[in-house]
Structure 1
Amino acid sequence: MVSNKNGGGNLAEIKDVELKYVLSDLKAPFKTALREISVIESIYVFVHTDDGLVGVGEAVPTPVITGDTVEGIVAAIKLMSKKLMGQTLSPLLLQVIQQSLVGNSSAKAALDMAIYDLLAKEKEVPLYVYLNSTYSSLETSHTVSLNQVETMVSDAKQYIEMGFKALKVKLGNDITLDQSRILSIHQTVPNALLSIDANQGWNEDETKMMIAFLKDKNIHIDVLEQPVFRKEYDAMHRLNKQSDIPIMADESLFDPYDAKRLSQQGIHFFNIKLMKSGGIFPGLWIAKIALENGGKCMVGSMMETHVSLTAAYHFACAIGAYKVDFDAPFMLKEKRIAGGIQYDMNQVYLENKDAYGLGIDVMKLKELCADAKSL
């Protein structure tokens, strides 16, 4: 039962939903086989209850991955908010969000985070506790953005010198050049734990060429992430069967139905991103499917800020993620959000592990959004 903090014992209800559009500059452009960006566009969501609680969430547009644009996210959140308004705060709202419309995973994720934030705050516990988990610091990898060979080598060396042990190397636009990139990085930082993310950039034959090249050069790769187009399930299956390197699904994996299909195809390494799954609620089902089939889950992210990455942190604790990729804040020119996740180089932890809900300082976030565009 949800209690009314103002006394009276009435059930708390959703009273208002605010949206703010905030831009966060990157230190340098972030490049993959799919896109290049120099700024993070965040739609911050503030969900208010009638007893004074505020839950926060974040959505970011990634049109080439989720199909979500700023305009689409805003329209979807407004539509779903109408269904939430006046409703009693309860876990049932998480289902209302998912059933309100098809697709629109980023918008769903933002509201899902905010409702989870409220539910944990109502119980006066951190979100990881609400999710029946325990607290632990996590170790993140750092992404080496797609670039010229010399630049990628320099970046990889810098990240290792900073204290990172694991690097995710972005490839996927030219197989011959990609081979030079990964070989040069391996030769420069031979003790780094490397993974490759091709972002759908290769076809099946090119992927086979890369796998053979890695074996010939004795380059150990932890996982090979989404080498081919997201709908090429049969190719993913064949590659996984033939390769000593686990094939990880990213863009092929959005919802629990994708998870079931991939598991049936023998793909058991999943990269769960809240912007793809539609939030924590469906993400938990995806993780359950993976773990029941002997799989492993990584929790990744798009280019996001501390709000949604804090939600991803709590989620990662809840599912026992074997690795996380939470490096986007390192690419920001400045940190402007208080509370939530913090960094000690590659170690990710909560600023206050006892803070209720996500642990984001809502007042500070509102100050950041004071001059931001209301949507």
Structure 2
Amino acid sequence: MKITKVEVFAARLHLIEPFIISYVRLDDMPTIITRIELDNGIVGWGEAVPDQNVTGETWESTYEVIQKELAPLLIGEGPFNIDAIHRKFNAQIAGVPSAKAALDIALYDAMGKITNQPLYRLIGGQAHDVLYIPQVISIKTPEAMAADAARYVAQGFHHIKIKVGTDAPTDIKRIRAVREAIGEEAFLRVDANQGWDRIEAIQVIQATADCQVEWYEQPVKDHDYKSMREIRATVPHRIMIDEGIHSVQNLIDVIEMRSADMVNIKLMKSGGIYPALAIANLAEAAGMPCQVGSMVESAIATMAGAHLSMSRSIIQTNEMVGPTMFTRDLASVDIKGECLYLSERPGLGIDVDEAYLTEITHHHCLIQ
């Protein structure tokens, strides 16, 4: 079995409401979809959701890199040669992790279909009974965020994540308002997306010490491991690193410096499932619980992250929230309340709506 074709689609998905975090506001979600085809007709789907502030890639650059640098390397290659393929990718071009992830995910989808197995069975099996997803609240006024959180809890959701990171005094008000609105039974996570400096982070965490926050995520700039270490040493609360971890090399530094308690793995940062598994294995060896995060991805990358989450016990939480944030997705995902379910269908287990993909595509190319 050999890969004979690669298609690349630069599309934009419509959001139910703008997505606002500390460094960007998105009114729609730019995404790159990949489709690989084998000589026996099997198709694998992948996705890249680049973030120029995190992965160093733009929507336009990712489309060009896949088309001109990475996709040609797959033609004539066997889909199971995942290690060799990543070595070829990395020799061709440094970085560009979401571009590499788009093809990595498509390869794993194809592998599952070839073996007639759901993807999670190929990379570790079933490590969890069910996957719980949080409700994520964008940056708004404290009152608006509290109202959103109260509505979610009233609807039966128990896991709330809020975005903060604008200014410390307002962020303190946001956290306290949300905790008051959701009561003591719901779980609360706080993500600053690099929005604070060291002093602000300590001030916010200490001022919300009674708010029962599960963890504070990426309080300072991505690779400011020293500040992360000092924050962690100062406050008796869990600190999760996200934007600061792209690779096993990053994680080695974080472990050596004792800069974080937890790791947020994202396929778009790591370069796909194969390198993400290496990060999870190293984190497990260091006793650091993991989460699989999302760049607000369509059903394609969402299900790749869900299969990864299901396959490792060290991956204790996930944020596969993309499908809940679009007016219409590229495929159907089985989400009931706060639970995401995987099917027994092979690969990613989804059927991509190719007509809708064509409708929202701005640029398309075929490599063969």
TM-score, structure 1 length as denominator?
A: 0.91
More displaced 10-residue stretch of structure 1: 134-143 or 190-199:
134-143
Shift of 1:162: 2.1
Aligned to 1:238: 230
* Cα distance in 2, alignment partners of residues 114 and 251 from structure 1: 24
Query: In structure 2, do the counterparts of structure 1 residues 96 and 268 end up closer, same or farther at CA, with 3 Å as the change threshold?
Result: farther
The match for 2:219 among 227, 232, 235 is: 227
> Aligned to 1:57, what secondary structure does the other structure show?
strand
Post-superposition CA distance 1:60-111 (Å, at most 9, x none): 1311221211121112212111111112232333443344321101111110
Aligned to 2:283: 290
Structure with larger RCO (C-alpha < 8 A, sep 6+): 2
Shift of 1:132: 2.5
* Cα distance in 2, alignment partners of residues 323 and 254 from structure 1: 18
Aligned to 2:5: 16
* Cα distance in 1, alignment partners of residues 90 and 129 from structure 2: 29
Aligned to 2:357: 369
> Aligned to 1:229, what secondary structure does the other structure show?
coil
The match for 1:356 among 326, 346, 359 is: 346
Post-superposition CA distance 1:175-199 (Å, at most 9, x none): 0011111111111112221111001
Q: 1:1-375, aligned counterparts within 5 Å? A: 12-78=1-67, 79-91=69-81, 92-134=84-126, 136-191=129-184, 192-215=186-209, 218-266=210-258, 267-320=260-313, 321-338=315-332, 341-350=333-342, 353-361=343-351, 364-371=352-359, 372-373=361-362, 374-375=364-365
Query: In structure 2, do the counterparts of structure 1 residues 346 and 99 end up closer, same or farther at CA, with 3 Å as the change threshold?
Result: farther
TM-score, structure 2 length as denominator?
A: 0.93
* Cα distance in 2, alignment partners of residues 89 and 328 from structure 1: 27
Opposite residue 115 of structure 2, the aligned amino acid is K
Shift of 1:329: 1.7
Does the 8 A contact of 1:125 with 1:354 survive in 2? yes
Query: In structure 2, do the counterparts of structure 1 residues 327 and 89 end up closer, same or farther at CA, with 3 Å as the change threshold?
Result: closer
More displaced 10-residue stretch of structure 1: 171-180 or 59-68:
59-68
> Aligned to 1:322, what secondary structure does the other structure show?
strand
* Cα distance in 2, alignment partners of residues 369 and 28 from structure 1: 20
Shift of 1:51: 1.0
Post-superposition CA distance 1:239-285 (Å, at most 9, x none): 11222111100010111111111111222400001111111111011
Identical-pair percentage: 30
> Aligned to 2:157, what secondary structure does the other structure show?
coil
> Aligned to 1:71, what secondary structure does the other structure show?
helix
Deviating runs (4+, > 6 A) in structure 1?
none
Opposite residue 199 of structure 1, the aligned amino acid is N
> Aligned to 2:16, what secondary structure does the other structure show?
strand
Shift of 1:298: 0.6
Opposite residue 25 of structure 1, the aligned amino acid is H
Opposite residue 227 of structure 2, the aligned amino acid is A
Post-superposition CA distance 1:307-342 (Å, at most 9, x none): 10000000111122211112222121134413xx32
Q: Give the alignment's Cα RMSD to 1 decimal.
A: 1.4
More displaced 10-residue stretch of structure 1: 321-330 or 244-253:
321-330
More displaced 10-residue stretch of structure 1: 161-170 or 92-101:
92-101
* Cα distance in 2, alignment partners of residues 278 and 336 from structure 1: 22
